[in-house]
Amino acid sequence: MLYNCTSIYAEHMISFRISLILLPVLLFGCGSNVPKPNDDLEEVDLKNEIAFEEETVTEEETTDSFEPDIAEIIEALSEIAILDTLDLSDEPETKEDFPSDHEYQEEIDDSIAPEEILVEDIHGEFSDLTELLVELQSDDGFSPEIPDIVQEAGADEYDFSYIYTPSGTCGMAEYDWLKPDQVGDVVEWFELDQYHLSAEMIEFLLEQAGYKGIIQVKNGTRVFALRYATQDRGKVIEATALVGVPDLPIAESSVYAPSVLVLHGTTGYSDACAPSADQIIGPFGAILPASLGFISVAPDFLGMNGFGEPSEIEHPYLIGEPTAIASLDSARAAFKMLDEIDAGVLPDLRVIPFGGSQGGHAALFVQRYAPVYAPEFDIDCVIALVPPANLAGQAIFAFNSLKSASALGTAFLTAAWFWYAPDLPASDIFNANGPKDYSVYIPQKYKETCDAAEFFAGAKTPGDVFNPDFLEAVSSGNVADLDPWGCYALENSLPTTQVPYLSDAMVLFVIGENDELVSNDIEEVTASVLCSQGYKIKFVECAGADHAGAPFDSLGIQFDFLNKCVAGIEPSPEEICVIAPPVQCE
């Protein structure tokens, strides 16, 4: 039996002091959970059998279910005297406690000559991108250069032509993307004061969570909640994100830093499941990159508003376009927000997509869409950990039995139905005559739960949940022939999407040899296919690692890759697109 991620999530929320122990939940979802010693016991109950990649915030178990080693950690942490600079005895402030508007929004002085601006931050001297950004600064604030924009003097609007636009993909009605001046705007922001942490505090928490020596903290951090405007199928829609910035000494002028776009793993499918909705654990996705000197932008994804008005659409889980667009617009809005406030650090044009599991898929699609949707960003490297990059291929693995991968696949199918064609009968794919009418039950549960275990309530086999035609197409490898569902899978798989590949970024592509959620064999082939299509991939398969283990076993590899990317150092030719056997990543 696998240790249920829901219980980990719920129990640890009792204390801020142990939030970092839950970092795997936030960054990579709950795919593989934490194995208990009795994993070799026969799995009987379906709901307990499946190690889902999601978690809920409603279930609670007692700490008696913890194994001694985890309990000892919790006990030790509970006895630690926290530094006086942070009061952890009080409950976190609720969303209602935060102001919706801020009087203190000091404008940054744009009149400073370029040669007076600091061009060195904790990473060392920047390239001429800093000088470029300085030249682009205007009296109106941050205004990045976007190719193909024709700006008339004194005009309020500009003409813009996308080099790629969606064209009724998979039978959808055609729509046009809104122009860049209509999206990426700040709706609201507020600072999470309880996460204004010193470097010493962050180091202390990392040490207690077992990360001592792995993550080298360089500075303290500040964290902001951001609500911003993006678009979905040609209409303005609002989304939420968290933004972390280095807390640097006060200087006469702002420091410029590259940004990490932190794309989270599966946490659920609705507003209640959004990382920013949880002010205990959620902010750490933004804190860690900021503690290394980066600006970090951590979007919740569409359909997962963590605060403010509820989402207008269902979460498009593993759908490439809305995920990539909203993520890129979160960076645009974060950059504008930082230009409004006196944070002491501003973004340069470098953006590094980083994510695991669902976030790994998102990172690869952000890379794919950036040149055609947000070409102002300089994406030189991408970190994709255990990504389901080939959804069409993963379908064969996911639906041959009911297991953890089946939940991920079911969530994607439901999201695709909502996003592409909600007018189609869901009974085309889900069994209306099983133990439940799953064509009604699953879409409803998708709106309500953060726990995909509930999708399969009452079911024992895939035939209980899915229609025979679907299962036949999957088992025979003919997913593409299953119209329109095959089109949905192909369009959201990197090797087969219609979005042109125009990037020259280096990609760190990490998988686990024993991944039970994302088939390593399928993703190994996928990486090879992507290389044949022009991708530059540093491929790493972590020996013996499962879905959660591979991202953490490879932390050293990730930091080395990230540091070299920031320094402009690419892997050697011998490391690029070499699909090598599994290696020890620890």
Report domain extents, the chain. 2-81, 114-383, 391-491, 506-575
Q: What is the pLDDT of residue 29?
A: 59
Whether a cis peptide bond, with omega within 30° of 0, leads into 322 is no
Instruction: Please say whether the beta carbons of 559 and 352 come within 8 A.
Output: no
Q: What is the DSSP letter of 32?
A: S
- CA–CA separation, 130 vs 258, rounded Å? 10
- In a 3-state reduction of DSSP, which class is residue 238? strand
Which segments of 481-576 does DSSP mark as H helices, in order? 485-491, 520-532, 549-553, 555-566
Q: What is the pLDDT of residue 27?
A: 55
Instruction: Please say whether the beta carbons of 88 and 16 come within 8 A.
Output: yes
Q: What is the pLDDT along the chain (586 residues), one digit of tens a residue?
A: 222 343 333 333 333 333 344 445 445 555 433 333 233 323 323 233 333 333 333 333 333 322 323 333 233 323 322 222 222 223 333 333 333 333 322 332 333 232 222 222 322 332 332 232 233 333 333 333 333 322 232 334 445 788 888 877 898 988 999 999 999 999 999 999 999 999 999 999 888 877 777 788 999 999 999 999 999 999 999 999 999 999 988 766 678 999 999 999 999 999 999 999 987 888 988 999 999 999 999 999 999 999 999 999 999 999 999 999 999 999 999 999 999 888 889 999 899 999 999 999 999 999 999 999 999 999 999 999 999 999 999 998 999 888 889 998 999 999 999 999 989 999 999 999 999 999 999 999 999 999 888 999 999 999 999 999 899 888 888 887 888 999 999 999 999 999 999 999 999 999 999 999 999 999 999 999 999 999 999 999 999 999 999 999 999 999 999 999 999 998 899 999 999 999 999 7
Which segments of 94-144 does DSSP mark as H helices, in order? 129-136
Q: What is the DSSP letter of 425?
A: -
Q: What is the pLDDT of residue 210?
A: 79
Q: Which of 328, 323, 349, 380 is nearest to 494 (CA)?
A: 323
Buried b (16+ CB within 10 A) or exposed e, 238-255: bbbbbbbbbbbeeeeebb
- CA–CA separation, 551 vs 384, rounded Å? 9
Distance of CA 475 to the CA centre of its chain: 30
Q: Residue 154 has which token pair?
A: 């004194």
Helix or strand (DSSP H, E) at 28: helix 23-28
Q: Look up the CATH number of domain 114-383.
A: 3.40.50.1820
What is the residue type of 86?
Answer: L
Strands, DSSP E only, in 290-344? 295-299
Which segments of 119-225 does DSSP mark as H helices, in order? 129-136, 199-208
- CA–CA separation, 468 vs 472, rounded Å? 6
Q: What is the pLDDT of residue 481?
A: 81
Instruction: Please say whether the beta carbons of 388 and 357 come within 8 A.
Output: yes
3-state DSSP percent of the chain in helix, strand and coil, to 5: 40, 15, 45
For the four alpha carbons of 209, 561, 296 and 405, in that order, the dihedral sign comes to negative
- CA–CA separation, 391 vs 517, rounded Å? 12
* Mutual angle of helices 68-78 and 199-208, in 10-degree steps: 150
- In a 3-state reduction of DSSP, which class is residue 162? coil
Distance of CA 444 to the CA centre of its chain: 24
